[in-house]
Structures are given as C-alpha cells and as structure tokens.
Structure 1
Amino acid sequence: MTTQHQHLAYGHSTAHGCLAFADAGTATEEAAEIQALAAARTWGEARQVQMTHLSNPAGPEYHEPKNEYADDRPFDITRVGAVEDGNWPPMVTKRAFTVLPQDLQDRYGKRQVTVHNGDYLEIAVAAEDELVAELRQRGYQVSRDDALINQLDGFSLGSPAA
C-alpha cells in the first residue's frame, strides 16, 4: 500500500448534507478568493479580484464592462450568472474524486449525478470516523473544518454582498 503525505481538510457540506474533502494546501487561499469577490462593492472591484485557483465569474470575459456591468455599478455576487446557476464556486463535494484514493471513494461514497453541475461524491456523515481513520493510516493529515468546506462551496453566498 502506497503511503500518501497529503493534507486534507474535510467537513460537513451543508448544501449536500454529506462529507466533503479538499486539498488543505490550497483550500484557505481558494476560500479567500471567494470571500474577496463576495466583498466587492462595484463591478470594477469585482473584475479586479485576483484569482489564482478559481476563475473570476465577474470577469470581462463573462460580463462586458458597460451598461449594467459598468465599473461604477453596484456589485452583488448573488446576481452573477454562474453563482445564480450554482456553477461557481464549483461544488466542493466534487473534489473527493481527485483527493481521495479510488478504493475509498468506492467504499465510502456514492456518485450522485446532477443535471447542471456534474457529478459529486456523496459520503455519509456516519462514515466519518472510519474513513478519517483509514486516511490517517495511509499517511494523510486530515483536519475537520466545516466553515472552510462551506466557504469553498459558496454556501454563504446566498445573501447579497455588503
């Protein structure tokens, strides 16, 4: 058995009612990008938010900076098409497909298909202790952080940005 030395963050995804896993090495930075975009007050500010890990759904390739999307117009992240459609940020529950070993995906998860947003791995909360123990036996560092997981999923974006 190959030992991994990856650090995973995981938690209860409120939107999906199951566990979700993410690479802890980039998760905090990704959450900061989501928060920075949500905090933008104008379309101009939103377009200037630098994204390293995610795409910027308010960028000029999505919203031409004129008329209702002019730089000085008020920005509300909940009115961005990709956010309204549930496409941004990407579902955090999809990440298990890339960060968890295949045999653990098969044993603890169930592939769920969504019509618009693709597949995600549903991992029952009841499997937490056993799955986390198995990951740690394989050399993974595993930390629970429900707030981070829900930030990555954009769960707090349901209310207009201040």
Structure 2
Amino acid sequence: MYGHAQAHDCLAFADAETAAEEANEIVAIASARTWGEARSVAVRHTWNPAGPEYVELDEHDDAEPFDINELGAVADGNWPKMVTSRGLTLLPKDLQTRFGTNADTVFNGDYLEIPLAAEAELVAALRERGLEMTRDDDLINTLDGRTFNPAD
C-alpha cells in the first residue's frame, strides 16, 4: 500500500499486511489520556515510547495526564519511524533508483523521496511485478504520526 506522506510531500509505502494494526497501535498510544493507559498499550508492530524500556516507571504516576508530544522520542522525530524510510526496504532497488532519491535528515536517518508525479508510472511498474497496490493517504499519515503531530 502507499500514499502521500504529508511531512515530506512525497509518496511513501507500507506493508499492507501490518499497516492497519500498526496504525491502531500508534493511535492507541497517542490518544492515551494517562500514563497508565499509554504504558499499557501492547505493541507488535511498533515500539511504545511510553513503555518502561524508555521512561522510568517512577517518573510518572499512572493517573498522571499523558501528552504524547512531550515524549523525547516524539519531540525528536524518532517515533513513529518515518513512513518515507520504508520504501528503502519495501521497494525493489531498481525502482528506488528509477523513481526516487535517497534523502536524509539530520537526526532521523535516510528516507526515499518519491515525487507525487511518479505515482502512475511507479504503481504500474509494481503491478507489472504482480504486486497489488492500494492508495491510502490517511493510513500512511497515521503511520507517520500526523494524527497527533500534524504537518505544518
């Protein structure tokens, strides 16, 4: 699956088999009202930046109000992982080179920048290889954290 990633204004790709579940995990963590709720979200496809591996348990009481944007991993842009970086592993290398540019960020690593204008030709090339392609901009942007940290 793919869509228009607002943060980088380009196309991004995700694994259709896990994308919806991962998006649900991201939304559950981001919409938690208390630290206890945030910590209790079980994850299979992402990591929980409010979990005990990342935040000391005694640092916040379970009943304390939770704001996802106050977490260092979120403020630094490390959570959730940039959706545009997934193209570097999901797309065949020859199509990455043909349609995209390997770009980098100062803090969050590399990503594949694929212009929106390449959509029709790239999707056709992927379908020729037997891949079903569905566009879902909302899901792509949920995976990128836009539901709680909208692009400017």
Match among 147, 150, 154 for residue 145 of structure 2: 154
Matched, 1:71 2:62: yes
Match among 19, 22, 38 for residue 14 of structure 2: 22
SS class of match (1:86): coil
Match among 109, 113, 123 for residue 122 of structure 1: 113
Q: TM-score, normalised to structure 2's length? A: 0.96
The answer for the alignment partner of 2:97 in structure 1 is 106
For 2:95 and 2:8, the matched residues in 1 are separated by 19
TM-fit CA distance, 1:66: 2.0
Count of residues in correspondence between the two structures: 150
Matched, 1:133 2:124: yes
Q: CA RMSD in A?
A: 0.9
Matched, 1:31 2:19: no
Q: TM-score, normalised to structure 1's length? A: 0.90
For 1:61 and 1:100, the matched residues in 2 are separated by 31
Per-residue Cα deviation, 1:46-84 (whole angstroms, up to 9, x for no partner) = 1100000111000112111224x1111100111111011
For 2:72 and 2:57, the matched residues in 1 are separated by 15
Higher strand share: 1
Per-residue Cα deviation, 1:1-40 (whole angstroms, up to 9, x for no partner) = xxxxxxxx10000000000011100000000000010121
For 1:52 and 1:158, the matched residues in 2 are separated by 22
Q: Which runs of 5+ in 1 are unaligned?
A: 1-8
For 1:63 and 1:134, the matched residues in 2 are separated by 44
TM superposition outliers: structure 1 runs of 4+ over 4 Å: none
TM-fit CA distance, 1:138: 0.5
SS class of match (1:157): coil
Matched, 1:61 2:53: yes
